[in-house]
Structure 1
């Protein structure tokens, strides 16, 4: 079974290596290896289709959503199945069964007003990727 690299461990190793080499940790030089972090869908962590309902008019600010049954907070991409609009949000546990509550900012970007719409929610995680010279 392969072990997963934790992004913060890889980042800490790169900073220490750059400091030891006498270079500032602003990225790899032209002839060195580096690591970048890319978003990758993680449907095994969380993936559901449900109704997406806009939060109350004076709800909390930011890009977030709540869903029932989430084991831990995640980053997630939400897609409005009616129009294809997508947004990445912070995802938290909460709400009622079969329904996601969306922040007003997220609902706005998804084109959801007072009427709930069907959405697909998929967890997103940052995955390290080795960059070669």
Structure 2
């Protein structure tokens, strides 16, 4: 059976997916100061993956995200654990976040925190699990 994809859905997806991706990255980056973070950003990115799956099928999803979902999950878990261990290097408890700031000419002060690394790990975990679920729905065995 040949499945034809909807041109209306494909056109809508082409405009919505970049917007959803940008918004998910925004939630990831500002999440440690305001509501958001890795989980919320990962959920929004997963909605973009779902829209891509509905509009372009399993092949479109694999072309857009060619990395194996278990690799994404493993890398996310590794980042989250590494962020927890950074605090221990300074003599604090596990998952105690550390932060620092750098002055960049013409841009200003840039604040970095190990919390952003943890949020990135959670983001990758959520996206990897969503990719796995969509691959299973598409019939691909891992």
Superposition TM-score, scaled by structure 1 size: 0.26
Instruction: Answer 1 or 2: which has greater helix percent.
Output: 2
- Structure number, greater radius of gyration: 1
Superposition TM-score, scaled by structure 2 size: 0.25
